[in-house]
Amino acid sequence: RLAKCFGNSPGFWMNLQLRWDLYRARSAEAEALKRIRPLRAEG
């Protein structure tokens, strides 16, 4: 309905929702993610 109302695609709104969900997940886990150290490959 939003796509019809604003004249854009449903994919636009799906992408916007996905980006919002990812932002919230990253924000919620920000401190834990800071403590993770990447593995380094030997070689």
pLDDT tens digits, the chain, 43 residues: what are they? 999 999 999 999 999 999 999 999 999 999 998 899 999 888 6
Asked if 2 and 13 count as a contact pair (C-beta separation under 8 A), the reply is yes
Distance of CA 23 to the CA centre of its chain: 5
In the numeric block, which tokens belong to residue 32? 């834990």
Q: Spell out the residues 6+ positions from residue 2 whose beta carbon is closer than 8 angstroms to its own.
A: 13
Give CA–CA dist 41/43, Å, rounded.
6
Domain that holds residue 13: 2-34
Asked, for residue 18, whether it belongs to a domain, the answer is yes
| Residue 11 belongs to a domain | yes
Number of domain units in the chain:
1
- Residue 40 within any structural domain of the chain: no
With contact defined as beta carbons under 8 Å apart, do 2 and 9 qualify?
no
